[in-house]
């Protein structure tokens, strides 16, 4: 017997609902193993949610950095240390165009991290194109545990694109003194 | 699917927040539930200490000055709390805002508390210190949990209750 149009619609709807229920059942079976308790399932869901929030947070952080510090104007300054036998770092003050932009006190743990090869981003900001003067003042204890304060200046030409500057503290064996270098990275 | 939906919702909810104007209240005012602003200061021995390096401990941070009578009463009580709960991971940090070194600061350092010097009062400004002492309890994750202004005799018992509750979490 031929089906009427209405019967055909009902049959199609029933088939669709049946398919959806079957898909949901398959998914439910995927999500909840037979031997799993509801508590472990909730734990797993919470863990997935936490991971997704962390991912989202990371993406928002990157988005914020891109918005606040566009590549065209971005300037980042890093501090690194090599050896450090002649200098015990206490703080670094950074001035750009004679304006203090960062003053960072280093704890023992942070100095230890620098000596193990770590690099610390002491400043991230924006500068317009053109010439700028960057001055870093290092304080700490030099040879024979004497208080030590030394400045290093660099003229940087800010063009289009991000600018990276490294403040490197190293030892000059020949003079038995620390050495402070300011280096530009392209 | 549900976590993905929640993530999408979070994204959707957070975007208007970026576009809204800043609230009238200072954004850097310290409130429970917010991350404690990080800082580094020198202690009485000249070492640099940073708040974030005490993650994992419950930190009771108090801002005080030598001319503040209630502050010295509070420091006595905090010394007892430090002695009782240090082994359980409590660290009492007394941030002095007097300026150059004072006798009161040295006395506090001798008491066994961690005394930090905020000579320029930069950290005090960041913590929006209006009345002394200002006491801030920071949980092991670095989140501000309780903020108290001024000090009265019964407050030490309240600090202790809050510390124990944080340790038991």
Nearest neighbour of A52 by CB, restricted to B4, B47, B49? B4
A74/chain B closest Cα distance in angstroms? 21
Between B102 and A97, where is the model more confident? A97
Q: How confident is the model at residue A87 (pLDDT cuts 50, 70, 90)?
A: confident
Tell me the average pLDDT of chain A.
Answer: 81
Whether the per-residue pLDDT at A32 is higher than 80: the answer is no
A42 pLDDT band, cuts 50/70/90, is confident
Total beta-carbon pairs less than 8 A apart between chain A and chain B: 38
Order the strands of the A88-96 sheet from edge to edge.
A99-105, A88-96, A130-141, A147-158
Name every chain A residue with its beta carbon within 8 A of the beta carbon of B42. Answer: 105
Residue A91 CA to its chain's centroid (Å): 22
CB neighbours of B147 closer than 8 A, spacing ≥ 6?
B30, B31, B32, B134, B135, B136, B137
> Is B152 strand, coil or helix?
coil
Cα separation, A34 vs B36, in Å, equals 45
What residues of chain B score a pLDDT lower than 70?
1-29, 101, 103-105, 109-110
Neighboring chain A residues of B7 at a CB cutoff of 8 Å: 49, 52-53, 55-56
pLDDT, residue B15, reads 41
Please check whether residue B65 is in contact with residue B134, taking contact to mean a CB–CB distance below 8 angstroms: no
pLDDT of the residue at A138: 93
Residues of A in contact with B2 (CB under 8 A): 45, 49
Is the confidence at residue A106, as pLDDT, over 60?
yes
A18 band by pLDDT with thresholds 50, 70 and 90:
low
Residue A7 pLDDT > 80: no
Q: Which residues have CB under 8 Å from A152's CB, separation 6+?
A: A135, A136, A138, A167, A180, A181, A182
Confidence of residue A68 (pLDDT cuts 50, 70, 90): confident
Contacts of B14 in chain A (CB under 8 A): 60
Residue A186 CB burial class (10 angstroms; 0-12, 13-18, ≥19): exposed
| Mean pLDDT in residue range A15-41 | 55
Return all residues near B93 (Cβ < 8 A) that are at least 6 apart.
Answer: B49, B51, B54, B59, B60, B61, B62, B113, B114, B116
Which of A 76-135 lie inside 8 A of B, CB atoms? 90-91, 104-110
Q: Radius of gyration over alpha carbons of chain A, in Å?
A: 30
Candidates B59, B47, B62, B42; CA nearest to B117 is B42
Q: How far apart are CA B48 and CA B59, in angstroms?
A: 17
Q: Do B47 and A107 touch (CB under 8 A)?
A: yes
Query: Does residue B125 sit in helix, strand or coil?
Result: helix
Q: How near does any CA of chain B get to the CA of A131, in Å?
A: 31
- The better pLDDT of the pair A61, A30 is held by A61
Over the stretch B7-55, which tens digit does the pLDDT of each residue have?
A: 544 444 444 343 333 333 334 568 999 999 999 999 988 899 999 999 9
Look at A62-66, A112-116, B66-70 and tell me which has the smallest mean pLDDT: A62-66
Contact between B78 and B62 (Cβ < 8 Å): yes
Residue A33, pLDDT score: 52
pLDDT at A171: 83
Backbone φ and ψ for B33, nearest 5 degrees, come out as 95, -15
A56: nearest CB among B2, B11, B53: B11
Going by pLDDT thresholds of 50, 70 and 90, the confidence category of residue A35 is low
Whole-Å CA distances, A1 to A4, A7, B8: 9, 12, 50
| CA-based nearest residue to B76, from B104, B110, B111 | B111
- Strand, coil or helix: what is B153? coil
Mean pLDDT within A76-86: 87
Average pLDDT over residues A33-53: 80
pLDDT given at position B6:
47
pLDDT score of B68: 87
Which of A52, A108, A109 minimises the CB distance to B3? A52
One-letter-per-residue 3-state SS of B15-73 = HHHHHCCCCCCCCCCCCCCCECCCCEEEECCCCEEEHHHHCCCEEEEEEECCCCHHHHH
User: Looking at this predicted complex, what is its ipTM?
Assistant: 0.72
- Confidence (pLDDT) at A178: 86
User: A127-186, pLDDT tens digit by residue?
Assistant: 988 899 999 999 998 888 788 898 989 898 888 888 899 999 988 877 778 888 888 886
Nearest in space to B61 (alpha carbons), one of B154, B126, B152: B126
What pLDDT, on the 0 to 100 scale, is given for residue A16?
A: 46
- Given this model, what pLDDT does residue B161 score? 93
């Amino acid at each position: 017997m031929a089906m009427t149009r209405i019967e055909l619609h009902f049959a199609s709807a029933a088939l669709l609902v049946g398919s959806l229920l079957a898909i949901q059942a398959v998914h439910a079976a995927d999500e909840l193993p037979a031997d799993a308790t509801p508590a472990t399932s909730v734990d797993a869901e919470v863990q997935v949610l936490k991971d997704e929030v962390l991912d989202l947070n990371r993406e928002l952080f990157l988005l914020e950095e891109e918005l606040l510090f566009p590549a065209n104007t971005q300037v980042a300054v890093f501090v690194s240390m090599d050896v450090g036998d002649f200098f015990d770092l206490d703080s670094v003050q950074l001035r750009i165009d004679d304006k203090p932009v960062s003053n960072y006190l280093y704890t023992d743990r942070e100095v230890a991290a620098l000596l193990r090869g770590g690099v610390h981003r002491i400043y991230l900001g924006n500068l317009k194109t053109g010439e700028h003067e960057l001055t870093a003042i290092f304080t700490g204890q030099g040879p024979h545990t004497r208080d030590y304060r030394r400045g290093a200046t660099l003229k940087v030409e800010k063009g289009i694109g991000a600018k990276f500057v490294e403040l490197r503290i190293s030892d000059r064996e020949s003079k038995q003194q620390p050495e402070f270098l300011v280096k530009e990275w392209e | 699917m549900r976590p993905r939906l929640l993530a999408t919702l979070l994204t959707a909810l957070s975007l208007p927040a970026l576009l809204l104007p800043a609230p009238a209240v200072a954004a850097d005012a310290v409130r429970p539930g917010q991350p404690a602003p990080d800082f580094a200061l020198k202690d009485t021995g000249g070492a640099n200490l940073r708040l974030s390096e005490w993650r994992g401990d419950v930190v009771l941070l108090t801002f005080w000055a030598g001319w503040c009578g209630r502050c010295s009463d509070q420091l006595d009580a905090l010394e007892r709390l430090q002695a009782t709960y240090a082994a359980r991971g409590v660290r009492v940090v007394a941030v002095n805002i007097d300026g150059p070194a004072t006798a009161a600061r040295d006395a506090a350092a001798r008491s066994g508390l961690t005394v930090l010097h905020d000579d320029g009062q930069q950290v005090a400004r960041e913590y929006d210190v209006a009345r002394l002492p200002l006491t801030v309890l920071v949980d092991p994750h670095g989140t501000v949990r309780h903020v108290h202004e001024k000090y009265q005799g019964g407050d030490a018992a309240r600090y202790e209750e809050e510390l124990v509750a944080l340790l038991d979490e």
